[in-house]
Each structure stands twice: as C-alpha cells, then as structure tokens.
Structure 1
Amino acid sequence: MTKGAVNATLCAPVAGQLNALTTIDDPVFSKGLMGVGFAIDPTDGAIHAPVSGQITMVAETKHAVGIHTASGLDVLLHLGIDTVELAGAPYELAVKANDQVIAGQPIVTMDLAAVKKAGKATTVITVITNTQALHLQIFLKATGVTVNANDVVAVATNPEVALSSADDVVSTDDAIAVAATPASEASAVGDGQYDQLAHDIIQGVGGAVNVNNLIHCITRLRFYLKDEAKAQTAKIENLDGVIDVTKAAGQYQVVIGPAVSDVYDAVIGQLGPQYAGDGAATTQPLPAKDQPTTPWGKVKQGFSSLIGVMTASMVPVIGILAGSGILKGILAALTGFKVLSTTSGTYMVLNAVGDATFYFLPIILGFTAAKKLGSNPIVLAVVGGILVYPNLIQAAGKAATAQITVLGLPTHLVAYSASVFPIIVAAWLGSHVEKWLKKVVPLALRSVFVPILEALILGLVVLIVVGPLITVISQGLANAIITTYNFSPALSGLVIGGLYQTMVIFGLHWSLIPIVINDLATNGHSYLNALISVTMVAQGGAVLAVFLKTRNKKLKELSLAAAVSAFCGVTEPAIYGVNLKYKRVFIVGSIAGALGGLVAGLLRVNNYALSGSLIGFPAFITPDVGIGSNFYSYLISHYGTLLISTVAVYFLGFSDKMVTKKAPASAPTES
C-alpha cells in the first residue's frame, strides 16, 4: 500500500436493512455533507462498533459516537434522526471517550420503542467524516438487503488503491459504488458560492451533532454548540472566507464579514431549518452571567444595543449610500465649475438618482430595522413613508404650517428625509406594539386591522413625541453652537468638529442645516458649513486608514468606497459601515475632526455653497476674488485634518484584531 492509501472494511453496527445514505430523510447525511457511508434500519437495539479504533467522541445526549481508526478514518455512528432532542433517554452507553474498541464490540444499547414513541426515525447511520481529506470512495453490498450485526458491508478506499483490492473483500457481483466522488471533485460540495465554506465550517465546529442552534449578525455566524471543546478553532480560522473565530456570551462566533448572510444561508441549507435561530441577532438576550449589574453597565449595554441595531439596519444600504454620495459629490463639483446648471434636465435627473436613497431613507430603514428587531417590515416601511410624505415634508419646511394639531395634541412637524434615529425607535416600538395588538384584536380581524393600527400608532408616536423631542434637543444644540461661534470661532470649531458626526447618528444635525442655508441665502457664505465640512474629511480619513491597514479583503473594499463617499460629502457609509462598528475608529476620527475644526475656526475658513469635504473645494473659492487666502485656509484645515485622522487611526485607532474583539457584555449586539 502506498503512502496515504486507504483500504478499510466497515461492519454493520446493527442488524437490519442496509440502505444508501441517499435514502435518509436528512439533507446533511443524504447529500453526503458529513461524508460517505451507509444507513441501517435496525431490527434490534444492540449497537456494535463498525470498526476498530479509539473512541474520540461520545455525545452528551448519547446518540452519537465517534471512532478513529489506525488507518486514519474518522467514523461517526449516529443513532436515529433528530434524536438529539431526546436528551439521551433511549440510550445506554458501554464505552466512554478514549476507550479502545474492536470491530463488533457492543458499545450502545438503543431503545427502539422509545425512539419510535417520540416520533423519531431509528435509522443507524455510519459515515466517515474525513472523507474529503482522504479522497475516499465507498463500496457497499447491494442496498435493500438484510444484514446481521458485524457483517462486513462496505469497503472505504481512495484512488491510490486499485479497485481490485476492494474486490478482495466485497464481490463486484453485489457491490455498488455509493457516493463515489472522483478525486478531482472530492473537495467540491454543492454548486453554490459558499457551499464548500459552509460544509468546512460545519465540520470544524464538530459537525451537525455538536450544534444546538445558529444565528448571525452583521459579520458573524454565532453558533450555540453542545461542546465548544469539540470545535477545531485553528482549522476554521485557516479557511478561505473566515476572518477569525472568537468566543463570547456562550456563543462560538465565526467571523465572516459582509458575506455572512450568504454563508449563513448555505450553512442552514446543509444543517436543516431546525437549526436556524432568530435572525435578529441584535435582540438576543445575554446569558444571566453576562448581564450587567451596575447602572453604568446597563447604560453601556443599552447604548451598545442601540448602536448594534442602527449599524445592522444600515448595512444593507451602505453600498447604495456610498454610490449616491459619490454621485452627489461629482454633481457638486460639476455645478461648482459651471459645467452643469442646477436647472438643467441632466442635473435634475442625476440629482434624483443620487438623492433618492437619502430622501427615502426612513422607508428603507423601516424595512431593514424591522427585520432586525422582529417587527413587521412592510408596516415599518409604511411608517417611514408617513415620515417623508410630501405634504408633511412641505408643511414642515414653512414656519406658518409646521405647527399643527393632531387629535387635539399640538405637534411640531419635522422634515424626516435622510433621518435615521426616529424610524429606528419606531421599529423597536413596533416589535412591542404588534404583540399587544395581536392580543387584543380578534383572530378573524388581525390580517386587516393589526397592520393599519400598528402603522397608525407608530406614525403618531413618532410625529407627536419622538420628532418634537428631537427638535427641542437639536434646536437647543443649534442655539448653543451659534452662541459659541459668536463667542469664539476656534472654540466653536473644536466643539462642532468633535460632535457633529455624533449628531448625525441621532438625526440632531438637521437643526444646523437651516442655519447653513439661511447663512448662504442671506450672507452668501457660511462659516458653520466650513466646520461641518471638516468633520466629513475627518471621518473619511478614519475609514481611509482602515482601508490602508486591514488585510480583510471585504473590509478593505467597503472602507475604500466609504472613504470616497465621505470625501464627496456623504459620511453615512463610513459611519455605519465601518467607523461606528469599530467604535475607536469613530472616536479617533471625531477627535481629529475636533482638531481640524479648531484650525478651521482659527483660520476663519468660509464656505460659499451648500457643498463641502474634498470634492466640494469649489465652494471655498471666494466669489469675485478667486483662489486666495480662504482657499489656502481650506487646504490647510481640510488636508491637515485628513492627515491627522488617517495617521491617528492607522497607528492608534484600528487593528484587524478589532474585527473580532468584543466585550462580553455587548457581544450579541455588535457585528
């Protein structure tokens, strides 16, 4: 026998009818995802070792036993289908882990009647779990025949062994090749892009028999395993497509990156839908031992949960936001250089393409946030539509019509286009309102009345309570900022530069936009917009540093697109796609923004159009003067900020370890 060759016989572990794996009503086994092997429908419960070797694994629920042979085979004996749910009751073990056994030795007694009474199949499955590594084929006796326990029923071999060697044990007259995959295809599982990776991850965590449940969040597969010690962490970490592995909050977390939902679908497709947990990983409660006990700990947990939901809701739209931001930046440059007129048809159409995602963002986020929080996505999309309903938006833009009365309650209308926080609150409330409505609305009326009542309640809550509250807070901030700027432009630059992008997260920045527009309309310039522009560059520089430093291909692609968008004046992709997810990146970027704002304030940088960041440089050219001191001050403040932010984040704010590092208290809520 040549080096690496395998030619091993397998015996029937139990008396009964011999069948191919393809006959089993379990896709993990029937598709060969666990390896090649065979199944027996038993006539008695005396289970024997099908091979000689060492017991490597005995499931806590006693329904599965692993044996490693001297020839290198890893053989799994699986007793029944879905019998993990029986918690070991129908089984009596005669062996334990590390015991040596010989083929034919009794190892388990299985109560067939108890298994059948529980509604489970008694099929005894024998598979070789390292089939791919050894490039194995298996040859069985003709299926459908009755065999006795300890009869030789199969030969496992690989291409290095001539088929004639298999004939020595199993006659070709009654032998058939089952799952005999050619060596050239042995490493291929399924035809989907992530099927092979999903298979390798399942094998790495100890197989389906070691999985209780699986959920996923923004970047991670989160396994709840029966025994984490059985997972082969080093093997999983080396898989192409896996960024890293970490453990927290009772979860075995496999970090995938932006493709996590696709990989999750592939894993569940192989495990079966019974293993799928709640996809809204951000709402999974922490185990009792990890629950914070101090007030500050609870505040941090709540904030982390909020950030987790916000980033998770934004992930599906990051790409279109980045592209829209780039388009808007290009349009700003074209209009700044008088290449396009804002009244031209070309500009109007291109601006609609670039602006639509932002304008209707509450509708989009209503849908994505609802999916994360367990609300009705369609209802929340409708609530988002209420927030950007044209008549309400138009009324909110005029002082004379912004103050209305709703059901006798005074309400101040707010323009919610491009807002994030109000619809996130609505989605969170929706998960509770819907449950309450289902309790009080008769079953026969639910399909019609629950959705419209939920939309009505959530719309009123946001319009009457959440919106005005945000208005009061943001107006207070705006007044404070104006007062600060009048007192000291440098101090104002420091404050705005450091806090503006945080205001963006909560939708509080909209109170400053009217001030900027009013300044431009009445004075022809805006110092405030110059300071805001610096913060865009700061967050862009922060995400650029991530692009330059990370070795994660997916994160690198996302970071570059987000940086370009930020330099075009749209920071949402940078904030929600990268910086806020790795909090220190956002914090360091905000500090750089504060320093850049300080410099811009000291230099009294002025802005002459509703544009900014790097692509908006024409807005800093003084009209009727041209390139002069103001433009040079723009270059110093903005490119200085870019340098500070990029260097600081590169050396102090980010490392690839942060992709997987997570505090236990916040593990379920982050990506």
Structure 2
Amino acid sequence: MAKTATLYAPITGKAIDITEVADPTFAKKMIGDGFGIQPTDTKVVAPVTGSVELVAGTKHAIGFRTDDGMEVLVHLGIDTVEMNGAPFTISIKEGDAVTEGQPIGTMDIDMIKKAGKSTDVMTVITNTKDVVDKLEAKQGDVTAGEAVATVTLKDAMAAATDEKVSTKPKKGEGKYDELAKQIVKDVGGPENVSSVIHCITRVRFYLKDDNKANDDAIKNLDGVIDVAKAGGQYQVVIGPGVADVYDAVVKQLGPGFGDQSQQAAAPKRKAPKGFFPKIGFYLSSLIGVITASMMPIIGLLAAAGILKGFLSLATSFKWISATSTTYTIINAMGDATFYFLPILVGFTAAKRLGANQIIVAVIGGVLAYPTIIKLSATTGNIVFGVGMNATFFGIPLHVASYTYSIFPMIAAAWMASVLEPWLKKHISASVSMIVNPLLEVFLVSAAVLIIVGPVISLISAGIADGLVAVYKASPAISGLIIGGFYQCLVIFGLHWAVIPIVASQIATTGHSMINAIISATMVAQSGAVLAVFFKTHDQKLKQLAGASTLSAFSGITEPAMYGINLKYGKCFVTASIGGAVGGFLTGLLHVNMWGFAGSFIGFASFINPKGLDSSFWGFWIASLSALAVSFVLTWMFGFNESKAGNSHKGVKKVRLGSREPAIK
C-alpha cells in the first residue's frame, strides 16, 4: 500500500492551486509541487513535522525536512527578499525540531502590500521528482495548521534514506564552478554586474545593462530552471542549490561582490516625468532611506530613551544626584546610543545605499569626535546669524554639533555611494585598499563639515529667528505653528538653532516658553504610537509601539517617529496636528518651563521654583489635549491596519537631564 503524508496550512487564508500563485516560477512547478495561500492573518506555523533545514537570512523562506524524506519549502510572499526581513519575525532556527501547526513566526501582510508585492505564501516540496507520486490539495478558506494537501509518496521512498533522497548539493565540491562561469559570461561578464544577491531559489543580479544578458543561453544551462526579470533584477532561477551556485558566482565575479554592502544595495529607480511627480519621488526616496537607516536601531533607541526617562525621574525626585558618579555611569548607558548616533546611522545608511559600511561609520566617528564636539560649542565671528568657529585650510566655517543627528550622515552615505564607484574606476587596484578609504574619509568628512553642516545651520538660524519673532507677536499662534511643524524640522536637523535660544532663555530668565511648546510636540508623538499600540493586531508592531510610547513619554521620540509615525505616513500628520493643538494651548495659557526635560517624564520642569502656579496646570491641560487629539485622529484616520505598510520615519534630539532642552 502506498505511503501518504500530509501538508498543513502554514498561515490562515484562502488556499489556491499552486498554478494560480502570482510567481510564474512557482506556478509552473519549477521549484516543486504544492499549494498556495492568499493570507488573511499574520501568524505563521509549521506545515509539517520534521527538522528545520533552512531559515533564510531575510526570513522570507523556511525549509523543512520530514522523516519521510520530503524537503518542504514555505516561501512567504513574492520578491519579499528585497525587504530584508522587515515584514517577518521567525522564532525557529536551523536544526530545530517542529511539529505541524507549531507557531514559528509572523508575517506583516500589510507591509508587504504597501511595498507593492504579492503576499502569496507558497508551500512546495522541492524534491517532488524524487519523492512524490501524487499530490492533492484542497482549495478555499483554511486555518493555520489545518490539513490542506495529501501526498502519495513513491514506493521507493518507504525505505529510502535521507542521503538517497536529498537533492541538496554538498558545499565545497566545486561542482557549480562551471555553471557559475557560464552564468556570469551570459549575463554580460563581471563588468556588467553591479551587485548580486540570492533568495531561497534565485540568484538575483543587478545588471548595468539587461540587454547584454543572453536569456536563451542561460535558460538552456544545465542547472538553471528559468530566467525572470522583476524589481530591477535579473533573476536566474536555480532551485534548492541556489546558495551553492551563488557562492560559485561570487567567486567568479571576484573581490567586491557578495559582501554586506553589495547585497544591501537597492536597485536604482528613475524619477518620473513632471515637476510634482519628481518632487514626490525624491521625497519618498529620501524618507525611505531615512526609515531604512533607522529601522535596525529603533529598538535600541527605545530602550535608551526609557532608561534616560527613568534617570530624569530619579534626579527630579532627588533619588540620584546629577553630580554623582552613579548618575554619570547610568547617563552614559542611556546617552551613548544618541551621542554616537552618527556612527550607527552611517553604518546602516551605507548598507541601504550600497556604500562601504565601515568607512561611512568612521566618517560618523569624525563628526562625533570629542574635539569636534568641543569646537562646536564655541561661537566665533557671527556671519548671517551663524558663528564661524573654525577654519579649514584658511576657509572660515561653522562646525555644528552632530551628536544626536542623522541627516548629515544620510548625506554622507549618499556621497560615499557616489564616490566609491568613481574611485574604484580611477584608482589602481594595487593601492586602492589604502588610497580609496583615505580619499573617501577625507573628502566626504570635509564635504559634510564645510557644506552640509553650515547649510543646515544657516537655515536653522533663519527658522529660529522666525520662531522668536512669531512668539513675540502671539504666543498662541507661535505655539500652533511650532507645535505643528517642529518635528518636521527635527527630521532634517533644522531644529538645532532653537537649542541655544532655549538655553539662553533658561540661563537669563530661568524659564523657557518655547521649550514648553516643544514638550507638547513630544507628547503628541506618543499619542499617535499609543493609538497604534491599541489598534494593531500585529504582535511585532504592538511591541514596538508599546516601547516607543514609553520612550516618548520619557522625552525620546526617535523610536516613535522613525519606527512608526513616519513609517505609516498619516500617523505623523495626525501626531503633528496633536502637536499643533498642544502648542496652541501652551502658548494661550502662557505655560513656562523651568527645566530641560520635557514630555510627561519632565513634569517637574513645569513647577515654578517660587511655588506651584498656572504653568503646571497648563502643562497638564496642553499635554493631555495633545495626547488625546493625536490618539483619536490616529485611531480614526492615521492608522488602518488593512492598508498600512512600509514607508518612512523621522528624527529628533534630546538630552534629558542634560544641557539640552526638551528638544525632540
């Protein structure tokens, strides 16, 4: 009697025939027979009982092996490898034993849809030819863990050993070298390859000219299943042996390919025609780079923000003295992430833009170097409202503070991504290992210090003067304007000129009304992420929203802005409206602030040293109003889980309990 096996639904949704999935390679059963599911839920479970053979680095594909010898692949979405793992959480690892229906992770289907990709989940037996005699799968609505397909195994399988049925090539055999050589030749040679990555079934090339690739020749190679073109990639479909073929291809291409920076480089897209479409395209691209650069460190920022909030609370209640070494040590733990943010952002932005991550991180180190920070604290001769506090080969310039900043490093990573190919082309390979990093660090660092920083400072100074003028004319109107647009300034680092104004106000009068308005914008950001926390059913997003809310309550809003509000677009708008309301009430009620720490954690900063007055109650009225407006608008209009997706993020800068204001 023929032996049978069962495949279970890895996710809840509508089961469809494998020939109906949106990916032609899977639809033509080139990878193997199986079934597809159009998911309606986020929970992912194991489709079989067996061992985990593979978890893709980008988390979009998991391979299993059963005691029957079946090699089962679950592929989450189509072309989701390009999303670098963002939509997925996977709780298992290679070598783990699993049982059918066991939860193994989550899949953010809304994020995938927003990115313009299909959410189809494919479950296929990659060694179908060796082990499967017949596969019958039902269609229609299924629940995760429900039996979907019955597999009749070949008679020979009953006694077959794992070794006999495995079709996975052994690494180190060099058996794919010739195939890789032919593939590289037929895609136009190494000189036609910008970068190369691979997913669970395909070697994906970014070619300089797709027309140089010989499709027919590659399709006819022994070991190649098919050729596909999508997302700016030239995709060579290999199947289960893709990792080995990829390694062989990288070996053929030579140094500079296959490293992290190359793998992360995104395909170049052309801007659409028309002025406004171009503006939208470039703004979207910029926000995309900002969010991609910040996403890997959002959790760290949230944790650091919460720690800084607790430290601020401890100093407010005199539990810890701000002059003690205990304070110094704990403050370093919380502040290090923000202080060295240029280095972290340099590394992640370089990965996103395809530049050398280590070199750009070093450039971030230049901007965060202690002597540069010390130099930024000096004034120098004032020109157009900006202090010329340094010279570079005789050229007067303004050195700004770059700690807590991200936009200058985004610019640095972009410059590096443009400069590196030029250097590789014009510098001899015999000296490039030393000369290229030398020139890149010098030229990009100088460009940021001489051009980017001063330009930002000049614009910031103009904005700061305008804010002061508006506030003198009408505190309520200035509160409305500052509250509504302040966080937009934060994104691009244009808010830094406000810091000396706040510091000067506190130093001369002991209080600052502008800093009180800024505090309201911080509360508004927390209201938006709090609404997402209560509204979303996605556990990963809920965890991020919860941590971001606590961090924003503590006066650190980067996680809220970069991790959620800018990412989901409308959430940032609704948070800004809440900030405008909070700022308006702050100005209308003439709320004053006697300290630097803002948001709810900084409530003690609103206590007048001479005695409790209307500023304290005004703070609560304005803050709770900002929170409520931001929360309600986000709940009603800002966040729709069925439509939300992968977008963007924001920026900030605060040093709670330190010398900087509630700036955020």
Runs of 5+ consecutive residues of structure 2 not aligned to the other structure:
8-16, 38-45, 65-70, 89-102, 122-197, 204-239, 247-257, 382-387, 649-664
Quote the offset at 1:128 in angstroms.
Answer: 6.5
Q: Match of 2:368, as an amino acid?
A: V
For residues 418 and 313 of structure 1, the distance between their equivalents in structure 2, rounded to whole angstroms, comes to 14
Asked whether the equivalents of residues 189 and 196 of structure 1 are also in contact (C-alpha less than 8 Å), the reply is no
Alignment match, 2:357: 377
Asked whether the equivalents of residues 18 and 36 of structure 2 are also in contact (C-alpha less than 8 Å), the reply is no
Alignment match, 1:642: 627
Larger Rg: 1
For residues 543 and 322 of structure 2, the distance between their equivalents in structure 1, rounded to whole angstroms, comes to 32
The alignment partner of 1:410 has SS state of strand
Q: Match of 2:379, as an amino acid?
A: A
1:303 to 1:433, Cα distance in 2 relative to 1, 3 A? same
Quote the offset at 1:418 in angstroms.
Answer: 0.5
Q: Match of 2:629, as an amino acid?
A: I
Q: Spell out, residue by residue over 1:129-180, the C-alpha distance to the aligned partner (whole angstroms, 9 max, x if none).
A: 34999xxxxxxxxxxxxxxxxxxxxxxxxxxxxxxxxxxxxxxxxxxxxxxx
The alignment partner of 2:107 has SS state of coil
Alignment match, 1:96: none
For residues 54 and 84 of structure 2, the distance between their equivalents in structure 1, rounded to whole angstroms, comes to 25
1:524 to 1:128, Cα distance in 2 relative to 1, 3 A? closer
Quote the offset at 1:522 in angstroms.
Answer: 1.4
For residues 311 and 21 of structure 2, the distance between their equivalents in structure 1, rounded to whole angstroms, comes to 65
Quote the offset at 1:512 in angstroms.
Answer: 0.8
* Alignment of 1:656 onto 2:641: yes
1:337 to 1:131, Cα distance in 2 relative to 1, 3 A? closer
Aligned-residue CA RMSD (Å): 3.9
Alignment match, 1:241: 106
For residues 26 and 487 of structure 2, the distance between their equivalents in structure 1, rounded to whole angstroms, comes to 54
Quote the offset at 1:660 in angstroms.
Answer: 3.4
The alignment partner of 1:646 has SS state of helix
The alignment partner of 1:398 has SS state of coil
1:342 to 1:432, Cα distance in 2 relative to 1, 3 A? same
Quote the offset at 1:220 in angstroms.
Answer: 4.5
For residues 513 and 470 of structure 1, the distance between their equivalents in structure 2, rounded to whole angstroms, comes to 14
Q: Spell out, residue by residue over 1:22-42, the C-alpha distance to the aligned partner (whole angstroms, 9 max, x if none).
A: xxxxxxxxxx9xxxxxxxxxx
Alignment match, 1:165: none
For residues 334 and 206 of structure 1, the distance between their equivalents in structure 2, rounded to whole angstroms, comes to 46
- Determine which of 599, 617, 623 is the counterpart of 2:585: 599
Asked whether the equivalents of residues 215 and 279 of structure 1 are also in contact (C-alpha less than 8 Å), the reply is no
1:501 to 1:441, Cα distance in 2 relative to 1, 3 A? same
* Alignment of 1:338 onto 2:318: yes
1:543 to 1:352, Cα distance in 2 relative to 1, 3 A? same
> How is 1:201-600 mapped onto 2 (pairs within 5 angstroms)?
214-217=81-84, 219-220=86-87, 241-244=106-109, 251-252=117-118, 272-273=242-243, 283-286=266-269, 292-400=272-380, 403-600=389-586
Asked whether the equivalents of residues 280 and 372 of structure 1 are also in contact (C-alpha less than 8 Å), the reply is no
Q: Match of 1:392, as an amino acid?
A: I
Q: Match of 1:599, as an amino acid?
A: L
For residues 217 and 444 of structure 1, the distance between their equivalents in structure 2, rounded to whole angstroms, comes to 34
Alignment match, 2:130: none
Quote the offset at 1:199 in angstroms.
Answer: 3.9
For residues 193 and 65 of structure 1, the distance between their equivalents in structure 2, rounded to whole angstroms, comes to 21
Asked whether the equivalents of residues 188 and 196 of structure 1 are also in contact (C-alpha less than 8 Å), the reply is no
For residues 610 and 120 of structure 2, the distance between their equivalents in structure 1, rounded to whole angstroms, comes to 59
The alignment partner of 2:599 has SS state of coil
Q: Spell out, residue by residue over 1:535-565, the C-alpha distance to the aligned partner (whole angstroms, 9 max, x if none).
A: 0000010111111101111000001101110
1:243 to 1:608, Cα distance in 2 relative to 1, 3 A? same
For residues 513 and 268 of structure 1, the distance between their equivalents in structure 2, rounded to whole angstroms, comes to 51
For residues 595 and 427 of structure 1, the distance between their equivalents in structure 2, rounded to whole angstroms, comes to 37
Quote the offset at 1:655 in angstroms.
Answer: 1.2
Quote the offset at 1:368 in angstroms.
Answer: 0.8
* Alignment of 1:129 onto 2:28: no
Quote the offset at 1:203 in angstroms.
Answer: 5.2
For residues 651 and 184 of structure 1, the distance between their equivalents in structure 2, rounded to whole angstroms, comes to 37
Quote the offset at 1:407 in angstroms.
Answer: 2.4
- Determine which of 52, 60, 67 is the counterpart of 1:189: 52
For residues 583 and 367 of structure 1, the distance between their equivalents in structure 2, rounded to whole angstroms, comes to 25
Q: Spell out, residue by residue over 1:264-302, the C-alpha distance to the aligned partner (whole angstroms, 9 max, x if none).
A: 98888967346799877673234x7xx522111111110
The alignment partner of 2:338 has SS state of helix
1:218 to 1:647, Cα distance in 2 relative to 1, 3 A? farther
What TM-score, normalized to structure 2?
0.65
Quote the offset at 1:247 in angstroms.
Answer: 5.8
Q: Match of 2:617, as an amino acid?
A: Y
Asked whether the equivalents of residues 599 and 637 of structure 1 are also in contact (C-alpha less than 8 Å), the reply is yes
Number of paired residues? Answer: 478
Q: Spell out, residue by residue over 1:495-521, the C-alpha distance to the aligned partner (whole angstroms, 9 max, x if none).
A: 110111111110111111111111111
Q: Spell out, residue by residue over 1:612-637, the C-alpha distance to the aligned partner (whole angstroms, 9 max, x if none).
A: 100110111111213x3221111101
The alignment partner of 2:600 has SS state of coil
- Determine which of 50, 62, 81 is the counterpart of 1:198: 62
For residues 487 and 561 of structure 2, the distance between their equivalents in structure 1, rounded to whole angstroms, comes to 8
Quote the offset at 1:472 in angstroms.
Answer: 0.4
1:435 to 1:330, Cα distance in 2 relative to 1, 3 A? same
For residues 249 and 364 of structure 1, the distance between their equivalents in structure 2, rounded to whole angstroms, comes to 25
Asked whether the equivalents of residues 244 and 254 of structure 1 are also in contact (C-alpha less than 8 Å), the reply is no
Asked whether the equivalents of residues 243 and 552 of structure 1 are also in contact (C-alpha less than 8 Å), the reply is yes
Q: Match of 2:641, as an amino acid?
A: D
Quote the offset at 1:204 in angstroms.
Answer: 6.3
The alignment partner of 2:397 has SS state of strand
1:55 to 1:548, Cα distance in 2 relative to 1, 3 A? closer
Quote the offset at 1:57 in angstroms.
Answer: 9.6
For residues 635 and 614 of structure 1, the distance between their equivalents in structure 2, rounded to whole angstroms, comes to 9
Quote the offset at 1:443 in angstroms.
Answer: 0.9
Asked whether the equivalents of residues 530 and 549 of structure 2 are also in contact (C-alpha less than 8 Å), the reply is yes
After the TM superposition, which of the residue ranges 455-464 and 382-391 deviates more from structure 2?
Answer: 382-391
1:365 to 1:355, Cα distance in 2 relative to 1, 3 A? same
1:188 to 1:474, Cα distance in 2 relative to 1, 3 A? same
1:213 to 1:312, Cα distance in 2 relative to 1, 3 A? closer
1:433 to 1:418, Cα distance in 2 relative to 1, 3 A? same
Asked whether the equivalents of residues 216 and 279 of structure 1 are also in contact (C-alpha less than 8 Å), the reply is no
Q: Spell out, residue by residue over 1:109-128, the C-alpha distance to the aligned partner (whole angstroms, 9 max, x if none).
A: xxxxxxxxxxxxxxxxxx97
The alignment partner of 2:366 has SS state of helix
For residues 215 and 250 of structure 1, the distance between their equivalents in structure 2, rounded to whole angstroms, comes to 11
The alignment partner of 1:510 has SS state of coil
1:630 to 1:305, Cα distance in 2 relative to 1, 3 A? same
For residues 534 and 248 of structure 1, the distance between their equivalents in structure 2, rounded to whole angstroms, comes to 31
Q: Match of 1:242, as an amino acid?
A: M
For residues 76 and 626 of structure 2, the distance between their equivalents in structure 1, rounded to whole angstroms, comes to 49
Alignment match, 2:172: none
- Determine which of 608, 617, 626 is the counterpart of 1:632: 617
Quote the offset at 1:216 in angstroms.
Answer: 2.1
Runs of 5+ consecutive residues of structure 1 not aligned to the other structure:
8-31, 33-53, 67-75, 79-126, 134-182, 222-237, 256-263, 664-671
Quote the offset at 1:253 in angstroms.
Answer: 5.7
The alignment partner of 1:405 has SS state of strand
